[in-house]
Structure 1
Amino acid sequence: MIRDTRICFIGDSFVQGTGDPEYRGWVGRVLAETRGDITAFNLGIRRNTSEDVRLRCWQEVLPRTLPDADNRLVVSFGSNDTVVEDGRVRVDPARCLDNLAAILDESRRRAIAPLVVGPPPVIDAGDAHARRTLHLADGMAALCRARHIPFIATTRALADHPVWTREAMAGDGAHPGAGGYRTLAGLVLTRQWHEWIARADQHRS
């Protein structure tokens, strides 16, 4: 019997794949390299913070799940939280972690297996933004570790990657082109990702 795996990807413009001339982003590229009968839903929205994602999460995710399916949720946000607007970050890091914890805990309660992808850096936001995003990513990793939920780090590797930085600066300063999203997809396609995909009905154990 073929397992019906349904994966919702929820987050910001990096999840959406903004800037990719091939309209695939990292989500499309990861799915292309992932085996299995997968029904996927891209729920990324540009400029969304963790606060925005938490507010809309379940009204968008639940209609896309089925009671007898292997339902999954990939969460990725934080880059917009750490951007400074009007002299302050858009979302306090502690609040961002609270939002992530709430989504992950509710996901487990609803028997939807979660995985978290760390926030990519916004290159033209400067070194201070990069430091804030790295600090937030470390907090996310610790939170996921405590809950035994897979976390895939991306922030540091992308901040130092020439393709990501070059394409972001050639575009709007934040979003790369096809090469940058290919790089991000490569970071996601770890053994951790493939093991998470392979564990059937892991949320029911």
Structure 2
Amino acid sequence: MLRLYYTADTCSLASHIALNDAGAEYTTVRISFAAEEQRKPEYLAINPKGRVPALVTDRGVLTETPAILAFIAQSYPKARMAPLDDPFRLAQVQAFNLYLCATLHVAHSHRMRGSRWADEAASIADMQRKVPESVGACYRLIEDSLPAGPWVMGEAYTICDPYLFTMAQWMEADGVDPARFPKVSDHRRRMSERPQVRATIEEELT
């Protein structure tokens, strides 16, 4: 059985939602950042990166949200969470998720994880001041590229949707006004109404 290591209010929510969307059988293990459990030897033996999510499978451990989401979509094809029979569309799904991971999430992380990139307090503070602009620029690109359909890829729900929803939860904290991005905000609202999403969030908060 799959086992997901997660922390509430982090990007691991995307993988958690996708597991529920897929109807997967899985268990979860909550990692407390407050207790720095991600740095303890027990967890580092599972994920040496010391981050979440980590998904334990019968073939080994997977890390990085785009990889985990792709694994879920391919492992549960009946859930139709990715265009597995269309190489170009599948590449578009991957491109979107990789942008969230490599660009938007990094810009967001400058708000509270500046010490990853700088030591001087003034440098860290400068990065924090830049977050509303840099994160806002990411959402502008996403907003302008979203189709008219209800989901990131249009009419079909995919693994892009729980990932964008997860990231969009942090807009206000990043100093970004959701009203500037009506399509992203509408997507966030519709995702929050999905039973799988509500059940996943409730599971993480209990």
Whether TM exceeds 0.5 here: the answer is no
Which protein is bigger by CA-based radius of gyration? Answer: 2
Structure number with higher helix proportion: 2
Q: What is the TM-score of this pair, normalised by structure 1?
A: 0.33
Structure number with higher strand proportion: 1
Q: What is the TM-score of this pair, normalised by structure 2?
A: 0.32
